Amino acid sequence: MTHSGADIAQLLSAHGLKPSRALGQNFVADPNTVRRIARLAEVGPGSSVLEIGAGLGSLTLALAETGARVVAVELDRYLIPVLRSVVDPAGAEVIEGDAMTLDMAALLAERGGGPWSLVANLPYNVATPLVMKTLVEVPVVDHLLVMVQREVGERMAAGVGDPAYGSVSVRVAYFAQASVAGRVPPSVFIPRPRVESVLVKMVRRPQPAVDPAEVSYERLAAVVKAGFGQRRKMLRSSVAGVVDAEAFERAGVSPTARAEELTVEEWGRLAR
């Protein structure tokens, strides 16, 4: 069984809890939504799932229902006892900690390597850094399905020519193929947020889009951030501090192009 709105309200009331604004807590209170997320995550018996920000366990229960092994990380120490009481019977393991500082690679290695899927309902303020931390530091996670604010999700999944295409789009594309898998209405959350949410699916590439032996992610990210930091300028101006003028000809990139016109492969050639 997953949580309905009444279940969420009862759990909060029974334990004297309120959603934390500081932690960006919006609990999913709709069984259909969490089961849809579990289905889109394509997990089941034999799968290993890392959930970030488990909250009161709505999504955790839906993931465990599939037969997957679930490790759920939660930062809020006040929620931990309630979360454990909810998901322990379903066989999920709860880890208390901050995913932004946790050594996730070591955590998962201790539990048998991979591959792993990351599934999470992420608050706005940590969504992008947490996704990038996972892609950069935890290669054993090869599938990600995250629920994030619509604008954030569209930036993660955007391609050249899309209005939302930017630095995050390129950095995600270096590691993974990303797409918006669906929308989630505000009505399924407690409390109800003022923004729309989307589900973003990311599948890690077998190899990064740019050969890391030629261009490291760190080098690519520095050039991309410089380019999009002044996105209205031509690239010869916006990346002047990090790329030599002669690099454009060698890379086959026009110095009069703008940041939003380059694919991840072209950014790679320019960074190299």
Domains of the chain, each with CATH number or no CATH: 5-204 (3.40.50.150), 217-271 (1.10.8.100)
3-state secondary structure of 145: strand
In this prediction, residue 120 has a pLDDT band, given cuts at 50, 70 and 90, of very high
N- to C-terminal Cα separation, the chain:
52
Neighbours of 209 (CB within 10 A): 17
The mean pLDDT value for 177-193 works out to: 94
Q: Whole-angstrom Cα distance, residue 174 to residue 262?
A: 13
pTM comes to 0.92
* pLDDT recorded at residue 1: 65
Least confident span in 46-50, 124-128, 254-258, 267-271: 124-128
Average pLDDT estimate for 129-156 = 97
pLDDT at 49 over 90: yes
Q: Which range is least confidently modeled, 98-107, 150-159, 169-178, 190-199? A: 190-199
* pLDDT bracket for residue 11 (50, 70, 90): confident
Average pLDDT over residues 123-146: 95
The packing angle between helices 58-65 and 80-87, to 10°, is 20
Backbone torsions φ then ψ of 197, nearest 5 degrees:
-120, 155
- pLDDT at residue 263 above 90? yes
Token code pair at residue 239: 């990346």
16, with CB counted inside 10 A (0-12, 13-18, 19+), is exposed
Mean per-residue pLDDT for 27-54?
Answer: 96
In this predicted structure, what is the pLDDT of residue 96?
97
